[in-house]
Amino acid sequence: MSNLSDIFKNHKAFIPFVVADDPDFDTTVKNIIALAKGGADIVEVGIPFSDPIADGPVIQSADLRAFAAGVRTETVFEIVDAARKQTDVPIVFLTYLNVVFKYGYDAFCQRCQQSGVAGLVIPDMPYESRDEILPAATQAGIDIIPLITPTSGHRIEKIARAASGFIYVVSSLGITGERNEFFTGLKDLVANIRQYTDVPTAIGFGVHTPDQAKTMAGIADGVIIGSAIVDIVAKEKQNAPQAIETFTKSVRTAVDASQGARV
Amino acid sequence: MTKLKAEAQKTRAGIYAGTYGGQYIPETLMTELEKVDHAFHTLKDDPAFKAELHDLLVNYANRPSLLYYAKNMTKDLGGAKIYLKREDLNHTGAHKINNVIGQALLAKHLGKKRLIAETGAGQHGVATATIAALFGMECEIFMGKEDTDRQKLNVYRMELLGAKVHPVTTGSMVLKDAINAALQEWATRSEDTFYVMGSAVGPYPFPEIVKHFQSVISKESKAQLKAKENTLPDMVVACVGGGSNAIGSFADYIDDPSVRLVGVEAAGKGVNTDQTAATIERGSVGIFHGMKSLFLQNEDGQINPVYSISAGLDYPGVGPEHAALAKEGHAQYVGITDDESVQAFEYIAKQEGIVAAIESCHAIAYVEKIAPTMRKDQIIVCTLSGRGDKDVASIAKYKGVDIDE
């Protein structure tokens, strides 16, 4: 297991997301460093996939830009290695399972360990399918970060009990992308999870403004922002690092001001 | 064959078809999949459910479909006797209706009011729209933009039946992308919605459900051939995209060692070109669309764009049970090119007076090759999975014939 859980101990965590190699290698490295400087607690790096079924148009487009830049799985590790020379911010990957499967579960997890990647979020790997990667991840000290959604219901207990690192709480049904309305039962959902585990929770999917981040950080132990940052990268391209550092600082301030206390 | 029987039992008992299958799908859909699984296993052997299904198959879908002796083809090819399992004569013109009726009944029992589906050539979309109309359910169909362009007639047919057709403009805009979009829609709205999976693909239990409802094809053909010839066929041939008509055509023969099962994949411009959809011949093991199976993909696990003249076979994966049958050697899979299938489209029209779907013509093209090599006392049963009206315009275009649509 990694030290990811400790990050949530004394304050609310902010976890921003960028897609690797969007729009190019150097900008992604700078973006990761900018997110760290802006106050990210964990940076989530997306490995591009040809058919990202859990992602909306913003992240789909980012994946296409990364493919246009010629991204390979190895490129993503090299980006992390390059960023690692300037920051020790904890990093987790968001990846579809086939990318890991083709690389080889053992090889992939060892490579993560080598690059200092602490956890994996795999949106198309439900609880039932995690056993095939778990030995490799455990061996390498990598957390498999589970997702719990508003439809998880009776599944929450087994997922929560087996969780390590943190739990990705999906704010709404469907796919990633900016939203103004969320599942209304998020407080109950988080409370339900906390019945079964002390592993921290972070809410993601659709969160895109500092105010929303503040609200979500009040409900859970942390908040994840993806599409809003990827959108900045799309608009600013090579100038993105400066813009996302500014955005990250504003979210950091908002998250720190959230009042929700850990139950 | 006992080994395969054991594999089949494993599928029934749990999740896997051999080393293939599984459930690799976002958590958002898992509770819903559990409900579908439970409904299917509770209802499939329930007498009332079976009676309801049987009534619709007989009185609405026009089953049993004919097992037709293709005398002219048999004579012309000069080898094995050729029988055609006429799924093209079903209501809506393809085998797709068998599965759609079954799944729509599951949806009804689950209290769903809305059906969604992906479609390639449009046959599954038409079948779903048809049953939605019959059951008074809402219906939305996801279809790649490339396919809405080459299958305009079916798009109009679905709209006529009251369905909303969403052209999918992501990725290569074909069947794979339509499945992505339908899965996304189901993840967004599952409470009142049933995803009618059209092929023997996707997360467990879909491959098993589709096989179950399509196995009527082989149950019938076996009984029909016994009545006509008092024997089993020597070979069963069916085209394979995701593999629903093929698994249905094979199902009742899987435990008969004397019956050779042949699945015909779309080789597009050639099995050894990049413009192909021959997944079993060219693919490697991967995880996509909810299942572990064979996929056309690059070494990083990115799914490749695929190509076939046939919108219904234009898919980078294949159902997990086909991958297992191929691995265990219980079925053989071969490729047929665009050119060969178009030739077969014309051949069967002129020989038998049947305009068959371009998908099915891949199977016919293989029969043309293999029948002459077989003895006259041997028998081939080839499934004609659908009728070819939908393809007339695009085949004319392929042949450079200018027709006014």
Report the CATH number that the domain containing residue B316 is assigned in CATH.
Answer: 3.40.50.1100
Q: How many CB pairs under 8 A join A and B?
A: 108
Which of A49, A152, A175 lies nearest to residue B31, judging by beta carbons? A152
Query: Model confidence over A45-59: pLDDT tens digits?
Result: 999 999 999 999 999
Q: Which of A21, A22, A41, A44 is catalytic?
A: A44
pLDDT-derived band of residue A254, with 50, 70 and 90 as boundaries? Answer: very high
Res A260: pLDDT: 58
User: In this model, does residue B201 exceed pLDDT 60?
Assistant: yes
Task: Please tell me the predicted confidence (pLDDT) of residue B14.
Answer: 43
Is residue A65 within 8 Å of residue A23, measured between CB atoms? yes
| B184 interfacial to chain A (CB closer than 8 Å) | yes
Contacts of B217 (CB under 8 A, 6+ apart): B65, B85, B87, B95, B98, B245, B248, B249, B251, B383
**Is the model's pLDDT at B236 over the cut of 80?**
yes
Is it the case that residue B16 has pLDDT exceeding 90? no
Q: What is the C-alpha end-to-end distance of chain A, expressed in Å?
A: 23
Radius of gyration (Cα) for chain B, nearest Å? 19
Helix pair angle (B2-13, B206-214), 10° resolution = 120
Q: In the predicted model, what is the mean pLDDT of chain A?
A: 95
Closest CA–CA distance from residue B341 to any residue of chain A (Å): 29
The nearest CA of chain B is from the CA of A72 a distance in Å of 7
Mean pLDDT calculated for residue range A181-196: 93
One domain for residues B188 and B70: no
Q: What is the distance between the alpha carbons of residues B98 and B216, in angstroms, rounded to a whole number?
A: 8
Residue of B nearest to A76 (CA): B300
Question: Which residues partner with A223 through β-bridges?
Answer: A14, A203
Neighbours of A38 (CB within 10 A): 19
DSSP 8-state class, residue B105:
H
List CB contacts (< 8 A) between B24 and chain A: 97, 124-126, 129
Our answer to whether residue B35 is catalytic in this structure is no
What residue type is B403 in one-letter code? I
Distance from CA of A140 to the nearest CA of B (A): 21
Q: Please determine, for residue B18, whether its predicted confidence score (pLDDT) is greater than 80.
A: no
Residue of A nearest to B180 (CA): A53
Same domain, B26 and B70: no
Instruction: Return the closest-CA partner of residue B303 out of B324, B332, B321, B283.
Output: B283
| Contacts of residue B182, Cβ cutoff 8 Å, sequence gap at least 6 | B116, B117, B118, B142, B195
Same domain for B47 and B81: no
What is the C-alpha separation between A161 and A206, in angstroms, rounded?
26
Asked whether the predicted pLDDT for residue B232 surpasses 90, the reply is yes
Summarize pLDDT for A116-136 with one digit per residue, the tens: 999 999 999 999 999 999 999
Number of domains chain B contains:
2
Q: Which fold has domain A12-256?
A: TIM Barrel (3.20.20)
- Show me where the domains of chain A are located: 12-256
pLDDT for the residue A259: 67
Contact list, A73 vs chain B (CB under 8 Å): 300-301
Q: Is the dihedral of CA B361, B163, B171, B315 positive or negative?
A: negative
Residue A243 tokens, joined: 């813009």
- Strands (DSSP E) along chain A, which ranges? 13-19, 43-46, 91-94, 117-121, 143-145, 147-148, 167-170, 201-204, 222-225
Q: Residue B363: which pLDDT band, with cuts at 50, 70 and 90? A: very high
pLDDT of residue B5: 45
Chain B residues within 8 A of A101 when measuring between CB atoms: 286-287, 301
Same domain for B151 and B221, yes or no, is no
Q: Please determine, for residue B56, whether its predicted confidence score (pLDDT) is greater than 90.
A: yes
What are the tens digits of pLDDT across the range B265-306? 999 999 999 999 999 999 999 999 999 999 999 999 999 999
Task: Closest CB to A51: pick one of B29, B31, B176.
Answer: B176
Any idea which of A220-224, B16-20, B144-148, B319-323 has the lowest mean pLDDT?
B16-20
pLDDT over 80 at B196, yes or no: yes
Where in the sequence is the domain holding B271, given as residue range(s)? 62-93+214-398
**What ipTM was assigned to the predicted interfaces of this complex?**
0.95
Chain centroid to CA B144: how far? 17
**Whether B231 and B248 share a structural domain:** yes
Instruction: List, in sequence order, the alpha helices (H) in A21-56.
Output: 25-38
My answer on whether B249 and B118 are in the same domain is no
C-alpha distance from A81 to closest chain B C-alpha (Å): 19
Active site annotation includes B399: no
User: Is the same domain home to B189 and B133?
Assistant: yes
The pLDDT score that the predictor gives to residue B17 is 56
